[in-house]
Structure 1
Amino acid sequence: MMERVRLSNGVELHYERAGRGTPLVFIHGAMGDWRSWEAQWPAFTAGYDCITYSRRYSFPNRNDMPSPDHSALHEAEDLRLMLDALDVERAILVGSSYGGFTALALAVSQPQRVRALVAVEPPMMRYAELSEAGRTARAAFRRETIEPANAAFRGGDDELAGRIMTGGINGAQAPASSPQQMQRRLQNLRAMRMLALSTDEFPLLAPAQLAALPMPVMLLSGESTAPIHREIFANLAEAMPQATVLRVPGAGHGVSREQPGFFNERVLDFLKRVA
């Protein structure tokens, strides 16, 4: 059953909680919401106290406060305050895309709150700058996706912007979205807009900070992911030699959605061993 919590900073978050055991929080990507983890819910609630929630500007939250520099740092602070409100001292974090970025941001700022961390292709754009291939991929992604999508957002055509961003993020090899998936993305256009028009949507988490994280970390990427994600992931994995790194066959950017059985099995096995 979906519930709502109001944080001490005035933000409201909708969430669902089920299961028993070690607390585990699922964190969705840029155009997802609390429903994004349906394919994981039965497998994980069988052994964990699971929470899936909608981030600040995602459906069905009604937060409308301005945030011109909105980023994963704000989302991480919301996550910390939600853990406080729900009396969760330490949790396992499982995040996809911008949710993975959010999880890493909390781990850097509050490592004592994170028992273990699983991140699927966090879009930490500044890591593309660490290699020539990454710089080339970033330039193409900015030219072909970010700039036209931002122009559409500024022009008031949020639906067009959302479709451009969806195509650019998922890549040409991604399976076609179902009508239900597209409808959910359209419900979360405001969340994408707040990031797209932010002055710093991809703040730097320094390589030294990530390499020093004390908790077990697993990084996942789809073997068929878009070039921008492939290059960012390669540089991120190099910066985190302590992490368990897994590239998932038959998947693009949406690993947990595209290969849920494989994802569930491997992540649960990792958590059983380390957490």
Structure 2
Amino acid sequence: MQSSTLVLKYIVLVSVAAMFFVASPSFAQQKGASSSDMQTREVQINGLSLHYIELGQGTPVVLVHGTLEDYRTWDGQLDALSKGYRLISYSRRYHYPNEWPKDATDFSVTIHATDLAAFIKAINLPPVHLIGHSYGAFIAFLVARDHPGVIRSLTLGEPPMMPLLKTTPEGDALLAAAITRSIATGEAFKQGNDEEGVRRFVNGVLGEGSYEKLPPPVLKRVMDNARELKGESSSRDLFPPTTCEDVQKLKAPTLLLDGERSPKIFRVINDRLEHCLPSVERATIPAASHQMEVENPQAFNEKVLEFIAKH
């Protein structure tokens, strides 16, 4: 049981972080509003302070980022989504610029979901359109399932809900293939060398020299969140078991997004989600891999706006 948990843990780390780096060259090309130019706000929830930005007016839209990311991830969405909505992008627990706790062994999708539900209530939001990417999409799913009263609609960009793979014919093979691409980063983190831990991880996933080729803005953001990867590596309970029956409990209208070039493992998970969800639409973001909101923000925004306008 423990070895199975560790395997799934590393699969999640590989899946959500690797595709971040694949998409990273396009990051510097984004135009328009920049979160780096905006003053962050703070809200106290669950004994900690979370930073966020917001702009626009109307029905709230809340953005939930993935691994090695933070509120700055969504710059490609700021202009488009804030024209008709009150757009809110926050940094999750353990992410820049939030304070880093001494002990991150409680890192899990569950604690992030608890934070998100409390965050929505703490800033007195009416029911929101919730948009999550990767690990953030898994978090958004849990909030929509367990706190339906705070949700108008749900958009999930390739959530790494790996337990669902166990119920698919290809699941074991996909997991085995992914684990062969993983790299152990815990040793470097234990030695206190976060940069070396991230370097080993990136080069282990994408090949030697990949870390050294990261554009400076992307490298800075990655290193700003290096401790988060360290927290995931030391987590005792990264994410909970999830079944089709669990998914069927979600009542909010849901949009599933696929990247046209994303690894097959994400499409298989979305296939399973599409089968299990009671109210679901699905769309593909062309010319994009897992980091779809960065690689093709125009198509991403169009699909999201079309969907949330219905709800």
Q: What is the aligned partner in structure 1 of residue 136 from structure 2?
A: 99
Q: How far apart, in 1, do the equivalents of 2:247 and 2:282 lie?
A: 14
Q: How far apart, in 2, do the equivalents of 1:216 and 1:127 lie?
A: 20
Q: Give the partner amino acid of 2:238.
A: E
Alignment of 1:6-85 (within 5 A): 6-85=43-122
Among 181, 191, 195, the alignment partner of 1:159 is 195
Count of equivalent residues? 270
Q: Secondary structure at the match of 2:258?
A: strand
Seen in structure 2, the aligned counterparts of structure 1 residues 234 and 157 have a Cα distance that, compared at 3 Å, is: farther
Q: How far apart, in 2, do the equivalents of 1:229 and 1:182 lie?
A: 25
Q: How far apart, in 2, do the equivalents of 1:169 and 1:120 lie?
A: 21
RMSD over equivalenced CA pairs, Å: 2.3
Alignment of 1:192-207 (within 5 A): 192-207=229-244
- CA positional deviation for 1:165: 4.7
Q: Using the aligned pairs only, state the percent identity.
A: 34
Q: How far apart, in 2, do the equivalents of 1:54 and 1:159 lie?
A: 21
Alignment of 1:111-150 (within 5 A): 111-145=148-182, 147-150=183-186
1:242 and 2:279 equivalent? yes
Q: Secondary structure at the match of 2:40?
A: strand
Bigger CA drift: 110-119 or 2-11?
A: 2-11
Contact 2:81-2:305 within 8 A present in 1 as well? yes
Q: Where do 5+ consecutive residues of structure 1 fail to align?
A: none
- CA positional deviation for 1:246: 1.6
Contact 2:263-2:289 within 8 A present in 1 as well? yes
Q: How far apart, in 1, do the equivalents of 2:205 and 2:248 lie?
A: 26
Q: What is the aligned partner in structure 1 of residue 297 from structure 2?
A: 260
Q: Where do 5+ consecutive residues of structure 2 fail to align?
A: 1-37
Seen in structure 2, the aligned counterparts of structure 1 residues 197 and 237 have a Cα distance that, compared at 3 Å, is: farther
Taking structure 1 as the reference length, the TM-score comes to 0.89
Seen in structure 2, the aligned counterparts of structure 1 residues 267 and 214 have a Cα distance that, compared at 3 Å, is: same
Seen in structure 2, the aligned counterparts of structure 1 residues 163 and 207 have a Cα distance that, compared at 3 Å, is: farther
Q: Secondary structure at the match of 1:2?
A: coil
Q: Give the partner amino acid of 1:136.
A: A
Q: What is the aligned partner in structure 1 of residue 253 from structure 2?
A: 216
Seen in structure 2, the aligned counterparts of structure 1 residues 196 and 132 have a Cα distance that, compared at 3 Å, is: farther
Taking structure 2 as the reference length, the TM-score comes to 0.79
Q: Secondary structure at the match of 1:12?
A: strand
Seen in structure 2, the aligned counterparts of structure 1 residues 24 and 136 have a Cα distance that, compared at 3 Å, is: same
- CA positional deviation for 1:84: 1.9
Q: Secondary structure at the match of 2:73?
A: helix
Contact 2:252-2:279 within 8 A present in 1 as well? no
- CA positional deviation for 1:255: 0.6
Q: Give the partner amino acid of 1:115.
A: R
Q: How far apart, in 1, do the equivalents of 2:204 and 2:299 lie?
A: 24
Q: How far apart, in 2, do the equivalents of 1:168 and 1:130 lie?
A: 29
Contact 1:211-1:242 within 8 A present in 2 as well? no
Bigger CA drift: 109-118 or 229-238?
A: 229-238
Q: Give the partner amino acid of 1:128.
A: L
Bigger CA drift: 75-84 or 3-12?
A: 3-12
Q: Give the partner amino acid of 1:4.
A: R
Q: Give the partner amino acid of 2:288.
A: A
- CA positional deviation for 1:184: 0.5
Q: How far apart, in 1, do the equivalents of 2:159 and 2:251 lie?
A: 19
Q: How far apart, in 1, do the equivalents of 2:82 and 2:179 lie?
A: 39
Contact 1:72-1:102 within 8 A present in 2 as well? yes
Bigger CA drift: 23-32 or 193-202?
A: 193-202
Contact 2:136-2:159 within 8 A present in 1 as well? yes
